[in-house]
Amino acid sequence: MEQIKLQFERFTEKEMIERGQAFRALMVRRRTVRDFDDRPIPTGVLEDALRVAASAPSGANRQPWRFVIVEDPETKARIRVAAEKEEQEFYSTRAPDDWLEALEPLGTDANKPFLTEAPALIAIFLERFGIDEDGKRIKNYYMGESVGIATGFLISALHQVGLATLTHTPSPMRFLNEILNRPARERPYLLLVVGYPKVGAMVPAIERLPFDTVVTKV
C-alpha cells in the first residue's frame, strides 16, 4: 500500500497541558438532554461533525459505519411511533425489575417526544459486511468497536459546536431499516437525537464515579 507522510502537530509541554485542561473543561459539561428546542441547526454543521465521525479508526480500515440524517418531520414522526411501540413493550413486559429500578432516577418512560421535537436525528448503522463492485461479500472487522469509536467522535464534535445530544436505543430497532430504506446487511446501532436544549431544560443530578475508581495506573 502506498505510504504518505504523517501530518502531526507537536505542542510544547505548556500547550499540551493547557489544551488538555480546556478540552476536559468542555467535555465534562456535556450532559444527555431530553427536552429539545425545535430551532433548526445551521446548514453544514451536522455534515462537518459527521466528517469528524467518519475519520475515526476502524478494524482493517473497513469503516463499517453508515449515518443517516433525518430532518423531515414526517419521517421523524414515523420513527417516533415505531420507537414508542417498542419502548411500551419494553417497559410493560420485557424489562426486568432491576433495570426499571436503575432507570427510575433518570425519569425515562415509553414516551419519546424528543424524537419529533429535536430538529434532527442521526441514525447510526453498523455494516455487517460490505459488497464489492462484483457483488462479492467483503468481511468487516471489529465492527462494534469501530462504530462505537466513531459515535464517540460524533458526540464530541456536536458538543464542541454547542449542540446537545441524546443516545436512544429502542430494542429492537429494525424498524429503522424499513423507514430509512437501509439494506439488511446494515444493523441499526444507535439513534442520536441532536439539537438545542429548551430554555430552562432540567437534567438529573447524577454523579460520576470517582476518578480513582475508573482509572488505575500501573
Task: Please tell me the distance from the alpha carbon of residue 30 to that of residue 197, in angstroms, as a whole number.
Answer: 12
Distances, alpha carbon 17 to alpha carbons 171, 214, 217, in Å? 42, 21, 19
Q: What are φ and ψ of residue 100, in 5° steps?
A: -60, -35
Q: pTM of the entire structure?
A: 0.93
pLDDT, tens digit (0-9, with 9 covering 90-100), for 15-43: 999 999 999 999 999 999 999 999 999 99
Tens of pLDDT, residues 155-166: 999 999 999 999
Residues 6+ apart with CB under 8 A from 5: none
Measured CA to CA, the distance from residue 50 to residue 72 in angstroms comes to 18
Handedness of CA 88, 187, 75, 198 (dihedral sign): positive
Give pLDDT tens digits for 192-214: 999 999 999 989 888 899 999 99
Q: What pLDDT does residue 90 have? A: 80
Alpha carbon separation from 113 to 66, 77, 84, 188 (Å, rounded): 25, 10, 9, 20
Please give the grid coordinates belonging to residue 128: 455487517
What pLDDT score does 28 carry?
Answer: 95
Mean pLDDT across the stretch 77-98? 88
Residue appearing with cell numbers 502506498: 2
Residues 81-107: b if buried by 16+ CB within 10 A, e if exposed: ebbbebbeebbeeebeeeeeeeeeeee
Beta-carbon contacts of 214 under 8 Å, excluding residues fewer than 6 positions away, are: none
177: helix, coil or strand?
helix
Cis? peptide before 183, omega within 30° of 0: no
72: its cell numbers: 423531515
Q: Are 13 and 145 in contact (CB under 8 A)?
A: no
What's the whole-number mean pLDDT along residues 141-156? Answer: 97
